Amino acid sequence: MNQAIQEQSRMKTTDHPLHSPGLEGVIAGESALCQVDEGAAGLRYRGYAVGDLAEWSSFEEVAYLLLLGRLPTRTEMEEFSAWLIRNRVLPDLVQRFVDDLPPGLHPMDVLRTGISLLGLVDPDGQDGSHAANLRKSMRLLSQVPLLIAGNHRARAGSSSTRGDQSGHVAQHLLLLLAGQKDGETGVAMVQALNVSLILYAEHEFNASTFAARVTASTLADLHGAITTAVATLKGPLHGGANEAVAAMLVEIGSPQRAENWVREALAKKRRVMGFGHRVLRQGDARSAIIQRHAERLSHLCGDNHWYETASIIHRIMQEEKGLHPNLDFYTAVAYLLMGIPRELSTPLFVCSRMTGWCAHVIEQQDHNRLIRPRALYTGPAPRTYVPLDRRA
């Protein structure tokens, strides 16, 4: 925080009030949820290093931590997990919406509309109390994967099926989006997906989270704030990075083409996806965590070409631009190996970041102050109004 405050001080001038384009470096509020750490920890969720959580925790445990403020006991964890499984069902109105979806719709548009529709029929829909917001958040964690899977079936032209709704979140998601995966490879895929969900769960005041907090600050309902977040995430400057990385890897095609492709892209000043971060300028510690899982999956699957291609890109970008890969880069490799359709990468991100979004909405409304910044006026100087019949 001290560094950010110093940056703000440097931006002050004698002629104008403080202004930072894109609010870069501006401290816009307080939060106890996530500390962005440029050091070895990378991120901390409520004080816990994200690397430790990725190594030892389940996504459910991290969701409990973010939403309720502490790590659960074993009994609390079992009850929380069982509650999530019981609520893996869509209300009839929303299920009909999913069943009637025509093919070809953008998955993020379906999510945005589906979450808004869930708000109409949620039993706590208009209750803005802390306890009601917790219940709504937990329902969304259970329901959003079903919205994503329903849209995926509609795009594929297949019929709706309820299927197996058991298992923890990573198991359930992998089954819904990529089908049954057995043996040691299947276990490794579930572990990698669990880790990616943990790593994506929260990241301070990013664009979609801040948008959700602005909406929540008006005391709008939780579903409305989350709908705002989804709409914001759809924008290509915020969401979709791992999908774009996957598209890049597919375009390159093989490790043998990777070096020439990257050097040509750099020469033409094309953006190479998956590198750099608006806040983590010295590298994203989460990237090394998911990279290990991507490498392991490539060996277990007997398919090294995605990982080898990514490694070559990584090396050249480091040598030529001094840029580090962000979390999206090797996550794209892991998702390709899991067989997760590329167009579902951003919706899958929603399944994870839903936790952070909901925790921020709850935190905002528990200590609310309407978010209302000011603008630096750049229009004309004061002018005298001339009636219409006197104008030349």
Sole residue written with tokens 């440097």: 10
Using DSSP's 3-state secondary structure scheme, residue 34 falls into strand
Cα distance between the two ends of the chain:
56
Query: DSSP character for 32?
Result: S
Beta bridge partners of 48: 45
Please give the structure tokens belonging to residue 115: 């979450």
Catalytic annotation, residues: 277, 328
Give the pairing type, strands 48-49 and 34-36: unpaired
Please give the structure tokens belonging to residue 93: 């109105």
Distance CA 67, CA 28 (A): 21
Distance CA 352, CA 199 (A): 8
CA distances from 5 to 41, 143, 283, 382 (A): 22, 40, 21, 34
